[in-house]
Amino acid sequence: MIKIGKHILGNSPRCEACKYYSPKTADEKNSLDGWCELGTFINGKKVTDRGKVNEWECCRKWQESRTGLTYYEVMTRRLEDWRKPLERMELERILKEGTG
């Protein structure tokens, strides 16, 4: 088991490990577990600033809260092309060793 921040490699990413997720507070009216700070999109158009989500859900815009690894990177274990060389070295080490 390789653990990266809150995410375990091999498992599907979950909203609770995403940097855009925030749990709801006791006084907020939300029937789900928390909020996605990216908002809600329908057919590519943003319809709300904060989306209601459950902590076990996930989307393609998921990004690990501590390391910044993306959905694509944790699913394929390959870094995206836009990463800078120094960032690449550190994230490759994290993917291999499971620290972060």
What average pLDDT does the segment 15-19 reach?
A: 95
pLDDT the model gives residue 34:
95
The neighbour count for residue 97, using CB atoms within 10 Å, is: 10
pLDDT surpasses 70 at 100: no
How many residues are listed for the chain in this entry? 100
Percent of the chain with pLDDT over 90: 71
pTM of the prediction? 0.85
CA dist., res. 17 & res. 100, Å (int): 13
Confidence of residue 5 (pLDDT cuts 50, 70, 90): confident
